[in-house]
Amino acid sequence: NVLVAYMPWEGYNSEDAVLISERLVYGDIYTSFHIRKYEIQTHVTSYGPERITNEIPHLKAYLLRNLDKNGIVMLGSWVETGDILVGKLTPQVAKESSYTPEDRLLRAILGIQVSTSKETCLKLPIGGRGRVIDVRWVQKKGVSSYNPEKIHVYISQKREIKVGDKVAGRHGNKGIISKILPRQDMPYLQDGRSVDMVFNPLGVPSRMNVGQIFECSLGLAGDLLGRHYRIAPFDERYEQEASRKLV
């Protein structure tokens, strides 16, 4: 559980700002795992089908280090921003200015169009990093421009709570983390315990969500008494207008 205080603290929790302790970071209390799916398709173009391969020209070797022999990232690989997840080449017609003498001869005598391949790999976008946890290659019969193959790559990323993240309660109260302080710099109780989170008290009447005050009070009472409470949703089952009288 988290020990919460309602008090101003040097302006760092004004408006919707929230001040938290480093204990929430080191204790992984608000640490979460995010799974993102990245997808690429292979089509049949007018110059030929696209190819999935690990042989991508003009790319540095370290960008291709996680690809298997088929050109798809291996399970368990740790990937960073810019790494290749799926290697793909798309055929295209080369410009005449880039023809070699041999290519010019073939076109002049046989009328053969010289084609090259363009790198159209699936790359991890900026800000992405994590562990590859699943790869799915959806192969279909009769691949065409209307029925492409698809490759799905799932990447798991561990995220710790940080400045700028939004936190919210079950009563509509929400705020942005403005500062993370060491435990010794946080406000503390009479028994020396430091609080974990500081909210602005002005955020309660302005948003009319006094339920968070009752929840915090009940939680503190349960902590001091060493007991756990399970509370059902308050649904006026005790008497009419019970909630209005309580407020």
- Cβ–Cβ contacts within 10 Å for residue 123, how many? 18
| Domain map (residue ranges) of the chain | 4-30+163-246, 33-159
Is 201 in contact with 216 (CB distance < 8 Å)? no
Buried b or exposed e, range 60-70, using 16+ CB within 10 angstroms: eeebbebbeee
Domain 33-159 architecture: Beta Barrel (2.40)
CA distance to 25, 30, 182, 194, 203, per residue, from 21 (Å): 8, 11, 6, 9, 20
CA 149, CA 71: separation in Å to the nearest integer?
14
- Cβ–Cβ contacts within 10 Å for residue 48, how many? 12
Question: Per this entry, what is the length of the chain?
Answer: 247
pLDDT of residue 207: 76
Block mean pLDDT (10 aa), the chain, length 247: 87 85 91 92 82 84 88 92 90 64 64 68 90 87 65 93 89 88 90 90 81 83 83 62 59
CA distance to 65, 100, 117, per residue, from 95 (Å): 31, 11, 12
Q: Is 116 left (phi over 0), alpha (psi -120 to 50) or beta?
A: beta
pLDDT of residue 180: 93
Pairing of strands 4-6, 197-199: parallel
DSSP conformational letter for 59: S
**Top-tier CATH class for 4-30+163-246:** mainly beta
Is 63 in contact with 55 (CB distance < 8 Å)? no
CB-based contacts of 87, cutoff 8 Å, min separation 6: 52, 53, 54, 55, 56, 64, 67, 71, 72, 121
CA 26, CA 239: separation in Å to the nearest integer?
45
Pairing of strands 115-119, 122-123: unpaired
